[in-house]
Amino acid sequence: MSETPPAIPGFRPSEWLALMRPRQWIKNAVCLAGVFFSGSAGDPAALGAAFLAAAAFCLLSSGIYVLNDYTDREEDRHHPVKRHRPLAKGSVGPGSAALLAALLAAGTSAILMFLPPTVATVAAAYLMLNLAYSGGGKRVVILDVIMIAAGFVLRILAGTEACGVEASSWILACGFSLALFLGFAKRRAERAATGRVSPRAVLKDYSVALLDRLCLVTAALTLCSYFLFAVLAHEGRGLLITCPPVVFGTLRYLFLLAERGCGEAPEVVLLQDRPIQIAILVWAGLFGWVLYGG
């Protein structure tokens, strides 16, 4: 019986696409938060600029994923899920990965040329943050998740700078707290799946009990931030009607994390869990109705 031949590193479009992690691009939708929350979603120019910022961050984040996968490839080979990533399993070689990273950097630069210079500044800050994360931040308990959450805040800032609207403190606070919650939920799912023998060094310093408490604290912080936003950041009390789907979505995520073992890939939960998808659609519909039609 013949054995399956080993993978030969080279140009394989499907493997390059997997290395770019297109499912992660959903995170860059937060670049649209500023134009939506500011009431400017009806302005084609502002909306187009926000989409360009999101596209630039899709390419930029993919380039960072390539870099991270290259530096973590030895650790990833011992991870039950990450061992299937192209660099970890050897289907993409270091040279091909470097070429892909260069092309992604060029694409990012090309898009940023059509946006205000401040967007490029935010993108550079995002790149530096991720380099600091890869260089050591990801090994420091608590700081690792704070740095991830800061990356989401920079995405929001990139979108607001692109379309020329002000990034309100409420948007930044809600985005930061939500990112903290999702980050600790991800750590909790990883820790439960791999235990203390996880190849990810920082997980050895977390315990499931600690992560459960951190998830509860940041979920409460997220809900408090949004409730305060709904009460104080808009005239009248119209936005209070948008709170129930936010509460349901947050608690549903906690349920999936604790009872179904989900959470290691937040983008998969958002793309596959129908109740959360419905909650997001209901929230967006109610929010749009209050802000644009109320």
**pLDDT score of 5:** 40
Tens of pLDDT, residues 112-143 = 999 999 999 999 999 999 999 988 888 899 99
Q: CA 278, CA 259: separation in Å to the nearest integer? A: 20
Confidence of residue 199 (pLDDT cuts 50, 70, 90): low
Confidence of residue 58 (pLDDT cuts 50, 70, 90): very high
Q: Ranked by mean pLDDT, which of 85-89, 93-97, 132-136, 283-287 comes out on top?
A: 283-287
The residue-averaged pLDDT of 46-60 equals: 94
**pLDDT score of 11:** 54
Confidence of residue 195 (pLDDT cuts 50, 70, 90): low
**pLDDT score of 8:** 45
More confident position, 81 or 158: 158
Q: CA 71, CA 192: separation in Å to the nearest integer? A: 24
Sign of CA dihedral 263, 180, 34, 114: negative
Give the closest residue to 165 by CA, choosing from 279, 40, 55. Answer: 40
How far lies 131's CA from each of 26, 134, 148, 219, in Å? 21, 5, 12, 28
Residues 57/88, Cβ–Cβ less than 8 Å:
no
Token code pair at residue 49: 């600029």
Q: Residue 38 pLDDT more than 80?
A: no
| E-strand stretches of 150-260 | none
Instruction: Determine phi and psi for 108, rounding to 5 degrees.
Output: -60, -45
Q: Residue 85 pLDDT more than 60?
A: yes
Superfamily of chain region 12-166: UbiA prenyltransferase (1.10.357.140)
Q: Residue 14 pLDDT more than 80?
A: no
Instruction: Determine phi and psi for 18, rounding to 5 degrees.
Output: -65, -40
Give the closest residue to 130 by CA, choosing from 115, 108, 163, 162. Answer: 108
Token code pair at residue 127: 């790149």
Q: Residue 9 pLDDT more than 70?
A: no
As a whole-number percent, the residues of the chain with pLDDT over 70 amount to: 90
Q: CA 72, CA 74: separation in Å to the nearest integer? A: 6
More confident position, 294 or 293: 293
H/E element, 242: none
Token code pair at residue 208: 């499931």
The residue-averaged pLDDT of 225-243 equals: 86
Residues 138/183, Cβ–Cβ less than 8 Å:
no
**pLDDT score of 92:** 74
CA 5 to chain centre: 36
**pLDDT score of 17:** 81
The residue-averaged pLDDT of 193-203 equals: 67
Q: CA 206, CA 213: separation in Å to the nearest integer? A: 11
**pLDDT score of 159:** 92
Residues 185/263, Cβ–Cβ less than 8 Å:
yes
The residue-averaged pLDDT of 239-249 equals: 94
